[in-house]
Structures are given as structure tokens and as C-alpha cells.
């Protein structure tokens, strides 16, 4: 794609829209799944807790290419979910990003929950609070850590290249608009073509988007 193609707002807008949609949905789903796990593990005292925590922390460093291969196999025609025809679609990219973002959100949120002073929970129980009440109070105390985990998960998702390239295919329609091409895969594509100026511009757009999303989330979190 020549540099002047970026002057067409349709191309850039389609890539930005897909990148944000995929990553935000993936982080939303990951947060819904991760926070209950973080609270359950953080509150409970059970045999094997250290092992579960170690598994969560290990998941934070999952190689993205391996995750992409596993998701590709599961969704491919030969895989168990092949009949759903999700391979090379935004939905497949969301699944892949969820697998990568969920352990990050879970791990950071778990650390935040465990860092809350036991006296806070004891005081909540002491005034007749239920487990739900105690969980809400703990969430309030640990909110900055939880927000940090969500932002870390978003950063992991939106900056992903390997797995989304494998399951999404970096596909653009004939008119240049994106089907499964995100900002990161577009950057990789342009670098391979030798279009370094285009890649740098796309990289700057990606950086601005990450900063904006982080700023909005921190603002909503009251930090």
C-alpha cells in the first residue's frame, strides 16, 4: 500500500475500528471470566492454592504463537469447533486474545485482592456483612490493582501480532478495507513490503489509541 493510501480515511478507519472492537470485546470477556476466578482464589484457602496461583502466573507468559496455533487447530475444519466456521474471522481473533489477556487480568487482580489487609475483611464480617458485601468492599480496596490488570490485559490484546495473524489471516477486502487486518498485523505487513513510513504512522496511531484507552479507563476508575 503506497503512503498516500493513508489519506483515504476508509482504510485506516476500518483497521482502527476492527482493532478496537476485537481487543475491547476480548478484554471485556476476559474481565468477566477473570475477576470471579481472582476473587475465588484470593478469598479461598484450599489445598493446591499455590499450584493454581502458579498456573495463573505461568499463563501470563503464554507464547502468543503457540496460543494462535492451538486456537487455529480448535477452530479449523479438522478441529472440534470446525463446524462453526470461525477461522479467519474477527471472532477467532477475539478468542485468541481472550486466551492471552485472561491470565494477565486474573494474575494482577489476584495479587491486588490478596494485598488487601485481612482487617478490612474481618471488619466487614464483624458488622454482619455477607460474602457478597465483603467481596464488594475488597473490590473497592483493590480497584486500582484490578484496573491495572485490565489495562495490562488490554495492552496484551491490542499489541498482539502472532496469534491474530495465525487465526485471522490479516485479510483485507478488495477495496482495501479490513476484514481481519488489525493495526499490528498491518504494521507487520507494511514492514515486509518495505513501506516503513506507513508502518511508523500506523505504529503512532496504535500508541495514541492505547494512551487514550488507558486514560479513559483510569479516569473512570477515579485515579
pLDDT tens for each residue of 3-26: 555 556 788 889 999 999 999 999
Least confident residue range of 50-59, 158-167, 196-205, 214-223: 214-223
- Average pLDDT of span 111-117: 86
Residues in the chain: 223
**CATH 3.30.70.240 for the 13-182 domain, yes or no:** no
pLDDT tier for residue 56 given thresholds of 50, 70 and 90 = very high
Q: What is the pLDDT of residue 221?
A: 61
Residue 131: closest CA among 36, 14, 5: 36
pLDDT, one tens digit per residue, over 118-162 is 777 777 777 776 777 777 888 888 888 899 899 999 999 999 999
Could you give the C-alpha distances from 158 to 106, 133, 211, in angstroms and in order? 17, 34, 12
What ranges do the domains of the chain cover?
A: 13-182
Q: What is the pLDDT of residue 117?
A: 78
pLDDT, one tens digit per residue, over 86-101 is 999 999 999 999 999 9
Three-state DSSP at 4 gives helix
Could you give the C-alpha distances from 60 to 101, 128, 152, 160, 182, in angstroms and in order? 8, 37, 10, 13, 22
Q: Are 171 and 152 in contact (CB under 8 A)?
A: no
Q: Is the pLDDT of residue 1 over 50?
A: no
Could you give phi then psi for residue 60, rounded to 5 degrees? -65, -20
Instruction: Compute the distance between CA of residue 74 and CA of residue 197 in angstroms, rounded to an integer.
Output: 37
Q: What is the pLDDT of residue 92?
A: 96
Three-state DSSP at 178 gives strand
Calculate ∠ Cα 11-14-19, nearest 5°.
125
Amino acid at each position: 500500500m503506497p503512503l498516500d493510501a493513508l489519506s483515504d480515511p476508509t482504510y485506516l478507519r476500518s483497521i482502527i475500528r476492527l482493532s478496537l472492537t476485537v481487543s475491547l470485546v476480548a478484554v471485556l470477556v476476559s474481565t468477566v471470566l477473570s475477576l470471579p476466578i481472582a476473587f475465588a482464589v484470593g478469598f479461598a484457602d484450599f489445598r493446591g492454592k499455590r499450584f493454581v496461583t502458579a498456573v495463573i502466573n505461568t499463563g501470563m507468559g503464554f507464547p502468543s504463537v503457540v496460543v494462535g496455533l492451538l486456537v487455529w487447530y480448535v477452530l479449523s475444519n479438522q478441529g472440534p469447533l470446525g463446524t462453526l466456521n470461525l477461522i479467519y474471522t474477527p471472532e477467532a481473533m477475539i478468542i485468541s486474545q481472550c486466551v492471552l489477556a485472561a491470565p494477565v487480568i486474573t494474575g494482577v487482580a489476584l495479587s491486588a485482592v490478596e494485598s488487601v489487609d485481612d482487617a478490612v475483611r474481618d471488619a466487614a464480617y464483624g458488622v454482619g456483612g455477607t460474602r457478597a458485601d465483603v467481596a464488594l468492599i475488597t473490590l473497592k480496596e483493590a480497584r486500582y490493582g484490578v484496573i491495572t490488570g485490565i489495562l495490562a490485559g488490554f495492552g496484551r490484546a491490542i499489541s498482539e501480532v502472532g496469534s491474530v495473524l495465525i487465526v485471522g489471516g490479516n485479510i483485507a477486502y478488495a477495496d482495501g478495507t479490513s476484514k481481519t487486518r488489525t493495526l499490528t498485523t498491518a504494521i507487520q505487513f507494511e514492514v515486509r513490503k518495505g513501506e516503513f513510513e506507513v508502518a511508523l504512522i500506523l505504529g503512532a496511531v496504535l500508541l495514541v489509541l492505547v494512551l487514550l484507552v488507558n486514560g479513559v479507563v483510569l479516569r473512570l476508575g477515579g485515579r
